Amino acid sequence: MADRYLHFTGTSAGRFLTRRLGLPQPAALHRWSPERPRLAGALLHLTAGRPTRTEELAAVLARTGLPLGGDGDHGPAAAVVLDATGVADAAGLAEVHAALHPVVRSVAASGRIVVLGTPPSPADHHQAAAQQALEGFVRSLGKETGRGITVNLVRLEGGAGGAESTLRFLLSPKSAYVSGQVVTVQDTAPGAVADWDRPLDGRTALVTGAARGIGAAVAETLARDGARVVCLDVPQAADDLDRTAVRIGGSALALDITAPEAAERIAAAVPDGGLDVLVHNAGITRDRRLANMPADRWAQVVAVNLTSVLDTTDALLKGGTLRRGGRVAATASIAGIAGNDGQTNYAASKAGVIGLVRSLAPRAYAEHEVTVNAVAPGFIETRMTAAVPLFIREAGRRMNSLAQGGLPADVAETTAWLAHPASTAVNGQTVRVCGQSLLGA
């Protein structure tokens, strides 16, 4: 369903009226397309404190495709990267203010602000306080900027080289609906990439719940990036599933992911018996308040949304179907972070996915060199949310820093970043795709 309010605020009368009434003023977001694959404008590289990765970071930023600037010769700044890894005490925070205060108003609409920090140290409470302060700073700035500008924090455990895929993502139109997030990049060497435009060439991906909505968008995006995609969904959705598979040049696997033989059938269906990317997107809702929820509604949601993720991931890892260097990306939800009225079953299952990621990620990498991450969507414009009552739907759209709902493509682009061969250093993360929703913020 079209967001008519977003369209209205883009007109002269809409802008005038919403300003006078103090209503939200969402900006049309610049999302990735073949015609507009990059942001328009210069990239400003700023520093605070005494950073140690300056030359390495500059080389990475130069490869993003944005011209490095600062003198206005490329127009308004498309993006600003502030290296605050050298901020080690409260006094150093003044340099954060001094660096961004003069330029924040000059960032173009749909621009990007990325602050680089380091993990807070348990051995140095002054450094820990200063670096934790960056999180509050970024989340607040993301709520101030408006005009479709996003603000995120990247914590570097090691050098900047491992963060290249993350910086390319956050400094591109692909991250249009990701804001107010904190991503830790571990001290791990990135995988080799022959072609940044088609990084998944020669790789096989499986996407569950791929018949429509977010799952279909994920399958399409992974195929765009070069992957051979196996699209999985329940037999009842076979017609839509076949259409998705044909559209992207993939294959269809009609299968109930909760079936005991699911992992065996997946292993038999993937080309050459090997899988490089496993995307757990299948999910259902059976909403009712706990006092009115029968046991079967609880069990169905947990079985599809959580148990199937646990069981198939374990089996595909143990059996070697998921190749070394592979990627697991699971779909959580902001409901699993903030909770939701009438969704104790759904919120429990999605919080369980986050717990799975946190626990499995270090072991899966140590034993199989497989990374495990999650995306947590907020309000995404799908057929399911189109059926939500009007006032609840409008609240979901407006209660975030971008004052609008996201699109399935936003979740898909984030999943593709996590599936990227150069995203080895991104592991154990849950990234919200919610426009910095006020829920759970």
The per-residue pLDDT for range 134-182, each reduced to its tens digit, is 999 999 999 999 999 999 999 999 999 999 999 999 999 999 999 999 9
5, 177, 346, 365: which is the annotated catalytic residue? 346
Q: Phi first, then psi: what are they for 221, rounded to 5°?
A: -70, -40
The mean of the pLDDT values for the chain is 94
Averaged pLDDT for residues 366-387 = 90
The per-residue pLDDT for range 210-263, each reduced to its tens digit, is 999 999 999 999 999 999 999 999 999 999 999 999 999 999 999 999 999 999
pLDDT of residue 441: 60
Nearest to 175 by CA among 268, 94, 101, 78: 78
Averaged pLDDT for residues 4-11 = 80
User: Above 70 in pLDDT, residue 432?
Assistant: yes
Identity (one letter) of the amino acid at 388?
V
Tell me the CA end-to-end span of the chain in Å, nearest whole number: 26
Q: Which CATH class is domain 31-185?
A: alpha beta
Per-residue burial over 380-411, b = 16 or more CB atoms within 10 Å of its CB, e = otherwise: bbbeebeeeeeeebbebbbbbbbbbbbbbbbb
Distances (CA, A) of 88 to 91, 94, 117, 121, 128: 8, 12, 10, 10, 8
Cβ 402 vs Cβ 26: under 8 Å: yes
Strand partners, 371: 327
- CATH number 3.40.50.720 is the correct assignment for the domain at 204-433: yes
- Same fold flag, 31-185 and 204-433: yes
Domain locations along the chain: 31-185, 204-433
346 assigned to active site: yes
Distance (Å, rounded) from C-alpha 405 to C-alpha 252?
A: 29
Cβ 165 vs Cβ 192: under 8 Å: no
List the structure tokens of 161.
């080289």
Q: Phi first, then psi: what are they for 292, rounded to 5°?
A: -110, 10
Identity (one letter) of the amino acid at 142?
G
